[in-house]
Amino acid sequence: MDSTDPRCIHAGAITTGAAKLNRSVVNNLITLYSKSNLPCNAARVFQSIPSPNVVSWTSLISAFSNSPLSFHHFISMLRHPSRILPNSHTLTSLLKTCASLPALTFGVQLHSLAVKLGFSSELFTGSALMSMYFKTGLSTNAKKVFDEMPVRDEVCFSSVVVGFGQNSKPIDALSCFVEMRRSGMPSTIVSVSGALRAASDMAMLEQCRIIHGHAMVTGLNLNAIVGSGLIDGYGKCGLVGNARAVFDELEMELNIVGWNAMMAGHAQQGEHGNVIELFALMEERGMLPDEYSFLATLTAFYNAGLVEETEIWFWRRMEEYNLEPCLEHYTCLVGALGKAGRLEEAERIALTMPFKPDAALWRVLLSKCANHVNMDIAWRMSDRLLEINPMDDSAYVILANAYASAGRWDEVREVWKRMKDKKVRKEGGKSWIEVLGEVHVFLAGDRRHEMTDEIYAKLEELMEGIEKLGYVPVWTEMLHEVEEKEKKKALWYHSEKLALAFGLLNGTTPPGKALRIVKNLRICRDCHEAFKYISRLVKREIIVRDVNRYHRFLNGSCSCGDQW
Three-class HEC string of 234-283: HHHCCCHHHHHHHHHHHCCCCCHHHHHHHHHHHHHCCCHHHHHHHHHHHH
Contacts of 279 (CB under 8 A, 6+ apart): 263, 289, 293, 296, 297
The answer to whether the predicted template modeling score (pTM) of the entire model surpasses 0.85 is: no
Identify the pLDDT of residue 21: 47
82 secondary structure, DSSP code: T
CA dist 63 and 445 (Å) reads 57
Identify the pLDDT of residue 43: 78
Q: Which of 558, 515, 517 has its CA nearest to residue 538?
A: 515
The type of residue at 101 is L
Order of strands, sheet of 542-545, starting from the edge strand that comes earlier in the sequence = 438-443, 430-435, 515-519, 542-545, 550-554, 557-558
| pLDDT class of 477 with cuts at 50, 70, 90 | very low
Identify the pLDDT of residue 480: 46
| pLDDT class of 218 with cuts at 50, 70, 90 | very high
Bond into 186 cis (ω within 30) = no
Identify the pLDDT of residue 486: 57
Identify the pLDDT of residue 62: 86
Identify the pLDDT of residue 3: 54
Identify the pLDDT of residue 479: 47
Q: Is the pLDDT of residue 19 over 70?
A: no
CA dist 198 and 470 (Å) reads 40
Contact (CB, 8 A) for 507 and 513: no
Q: Is the pLDDT of residue 220 over 60?
A: yes
| pLDDT class of 436 with cuts at 50, 70, 90 | confident
CA dist 363 and 564 (Å) reads 11
Reduced to 3 DSSP states, what percent helix, strand and coil does the chain have, rounded to the nearest 5?
65, 5, 30
Q: Is the pLDDT of residue 460 over 90?
A: yes
Pairing of strands 430-435, 515-519: antiparallel
> What would the mean pLDDT of 123-143 be, rounded to a whole number?
94
| pLDDT class of 488 with cuts at 50, 70, 90 | low
> What would the mean pLDDT of 382-389 be, rounded to a whole number?
94
| pLDDT class of 366 with cuts at 50, 70, 90 | very high
Query: Over the stretch 234-293, which tens digit does the pLDDT of each residue have?
Result: 999 888 999 999 999 998 899 999 999 999 999 988 899 999 999 999 999 999 999 999
| pLDDT class of 9 with cuts at 50, 70, 90 | low
Query: Over the stretch 281-324, which tens digit does the pLDDT of each residue have?
Result: 999 999 999 999 999 999 999 988 899 999 999 988 878 888 88
SS3 54: helix
> What would the mean pLDDT of 533-540 be, rounded to a whole number?
94
The chain-wide mean pLDDT, for the chain, equals 88
| pLDDT class of 14 with cuts at 50, 70, 90 | low
DSSP secondary structure letters along 519-536: ESSPPPHHHHHHHHHHHH
Contact (CB, 8 A) for 361 and 327: yes
Query: Over the stretch 390-404, which tens digit does the pLDDT of each residue have?
Result: 999 999 989 988 888
CA dist 129 and 146 (Å) reads 9
Query: Over the stretch 156-191, which tens digit does the pLDDT of each residue have?
Result: 999 999 999 999 999 999 999 999 999 999 999 999
Residue 241's CB: how many other CB atoms inside 10 A? Answer: 9
| pLDDT class of 17 with cuts at 50, 70, 90 | low
